Amino acid sequence: HGLDVQKNIFFLGREFRPYKPHPASAEHVMLDKWGLQDEERGHVWFVGDGEHDLVCARQAGCVPVLIRNVGDHDPKHVAHQK
pLDDT of 33: 87
- In this predicted structure, what is the pLDDT of residue 11? 76
If you count DSSP H runs as helices and E runs as strands, how many of each does the chain have, helices first? 2, 3
Q: What's the predicted TM-score (pTM) here? A: 0.71
Rounded (5°) CA angle 3-60-58: 110
Question: Residue 69 — left, alpha, or beta (φ > 0 → left; ψ -120 to 50 → alpha)?
Answer: beta
Give residue 12's pLDDT: 74
Give the per-residue pLDDT at 9. 72
The answer to whether the CB of 21 falls within 8 A of the CB of 56 is yes
Written as tens digits, the pLDDT of the chain (82 aa) is 455 555 667 777 777 788 889 999 999 989 998 899 999 999 999 999 889 999 999 999 999 999 887 655 544 444 444 4
